[in-house]
């Protein structure tokens, strides 16, 4: 049996099955990237719900795994060279799992790097901008009388949707086949028009290729499952 006792996070969230990958997460747009990926690749894992509303990411145990205090994070007892690997940042985790299993990342070098570029596009642009729209449109930011911050993020989100729209006008998925680029992005687009309720705000109906792509992604059984892992209360 794998010994994970060297990782302080296991003292607060004990592993019932330390032989399999441990996922520490919540079904947010970033969190579901990893749960969807794990469901897609069929790698056994154990999930631990991290209550961000109760500031559990700022406990010493969680910070020992991710010093940035964000979900998701993983602890893989079967990491490189057979040693346990602790890993944070959703994009890094997607790359790790893709390379570990040989799935959802093209083997050809040019296509591989292009896929990674689109993952970085999500990490650097779509996630931060869509998240700001959510904050200023749905959450505490909506009480701010000055609407210039909201408009700034709406305008940039519209531009980013246009980038996706053009890309998806030429192919079914972000690459020629379904990859970690789609897995990284689907939760954020879904949240923008769903949970954040910003579809009308960004003129989502104009982006028919994005809407078609989102629908196809959401029809995948692994995506449907991953979007609800771990279940919210």
Co-location of 89 and 14 in the same domain: yes
In the chain, pLDDT over 90 holds for what percent of residues? Answer: 97
Average pLDDT, the chain: 97
Domain boundary residue, one of 88, 103, 118: 103
**What value does the mean pLDDT take over residues 216-233?**
95
Give residue 1's pLDDT: 63
**Cα dist. 81→77, 85, 89 in Å?**
11, 10, 21
Give residue 232's pLDDT: 82
What CA–CA distance (Å, rounded) separates 152 from 154?
A: 6
Co-location of 157 and 209 in the same domain: yes
Co-location of 147 and 203 in the same domain: yes
Co-location of 71 and 113 in the same domain: no
In the chain, pLDDT over 70 holds for what percent of residues? Answer: 100
Co-location of 61 and 116 in the same domain: no
Q: At what angle do helices 148-168 and 208-218 cross, to 10 degrees?
A: 80
| Structural domain containing residue 200 | 109-223
Domain boundary residue, one of 103, 137, 161: 103
Co-location of 154 and 97 in the same domain: no
With a cut of 80, say whether residue 11 has pLDDT above it.
Answer: yes
Co-location of 118 and 204 in the same domain: yes
Question: Taking the CA of residue 23 as centre, how many other CA atoms within 13 Å lie in the half-sphere pointing to its CB?
Answer: 26
Co-location of 118 and 213 in the same domain: yes
Co-location of 116 and 97 in the same domain: no
Long-range CB contacts (within 8 A, 24+) of 30-33: 30/70, 30/71, 30/72, 30/90, 30/127, 30/187, 31/71, 31/72, 31/90, 32/187, 32/226, 32/227, 32/229, 33/72, 33/90, 33/91, 33/93, 33/94, 33/183, 33/184, 33/187
Give residue 25's pLDDT: 98
pTM: 0.97
Give residue 233's pLDDT: 72
Assess contact for 66 and 74: CB atoms under 8 A: no
The total number of structural domains in the chain stands at 2
pLDDT band (50, 70, 90) for residue 3: confident
What CA–CA distance (Å, rounded) separates 221 from 176?
A: 20
How far is C-alpha 184 from the geometric centre of its chain's CA atoms? Answer: 5
**Cα dist. 33→7, 25, 52, 119, 219 in Å?**
23, 10, 17, 11, 16
Assess contact for 111 and 132: CB atoms under 8 A: no
Question: Hey, what are 211's tokens?
Answer: 């809407």
What CA–CA distance (Å, rounded) separates 181 from 183?
A: 5
Q: Under DSSP, is residue 177 helix (H, G, I), strand (E, B) or coil?
A: coil
Co-location of 126 and 91 in the same domain: no
Q: Under DSSP, is residue 52 helix (H, G, I), strand (E, B) or coil?
A: helix
With a cut of 80, say whether residue 117 has pLDDT above it.
Answer: yes
If you write DSSP's letter for every residue of 150-167 in order, what string do you get? HHHHHHHHHHHHHHHHHH
Co-location of 47 and 137 in the same domain: no
Domain CATH code at residue 92: 3.40.30.10
Give residue 95's pLDDT: 98
pLDDT in tens, 127-179: 999 999 999 999 999 999 999 999 999 999 999 999 999 999 999 999 999 99
**What value does the mean pLDDT take over residues 40-63?**
98
Give residue 2's pLDDT: 76
Co-location of 173 and 131 in the same domain: yes
Assess contact for 103 and 95: CB atoms under 8 A: no
């Amino acid at each position: 049996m794998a010994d994970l006792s060297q990782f302080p996070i296991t003292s607060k969230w004990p592993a019932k099955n330390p032989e399999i990958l441990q996922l520490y997460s919540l079904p947010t747009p970033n969190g579901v990237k990893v749960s969807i990926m794990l469901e897609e690749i069929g790698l056994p894992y154990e999930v631990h719900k991290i209550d961000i509303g109760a500031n559990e990411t700022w406990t010493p145990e969680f910070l020992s795994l991710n010093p940035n205090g964000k979900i998701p994070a993983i602890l893989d007892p079967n990491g490189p060279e057979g040693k346990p690997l602790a890993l944070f940042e959703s994009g890094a985790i997607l790359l790790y799992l893709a390379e570990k299993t040989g799935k959802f990342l093209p083997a050809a070098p040019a296509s591989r790097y292009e896929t990674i570029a689109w993952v970085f596009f999500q990490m650097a642009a779509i996630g931060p901008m869509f998240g700001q729209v959510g904050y200023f449109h749905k959450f505490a930011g909506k009480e701010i009388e000055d609407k210039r911050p909201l408009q700034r993020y709406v305008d940039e989100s519209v531009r980013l949707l246009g980038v996706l729209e053009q890309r998806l006008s030429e192919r079914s998925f972000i690459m020629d086949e379904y990859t970690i680029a789609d897995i990284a992005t689907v939760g954020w687009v879904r949240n923008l028009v769903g949970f954040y309720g910003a579809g009308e705000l960004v003129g989502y109906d104009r982006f028919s290729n994005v809407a078609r792509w989102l629908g196809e992604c959401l029809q995948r059984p692994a995506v449907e499952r991953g979007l609800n892992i771990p279940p919210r209360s």
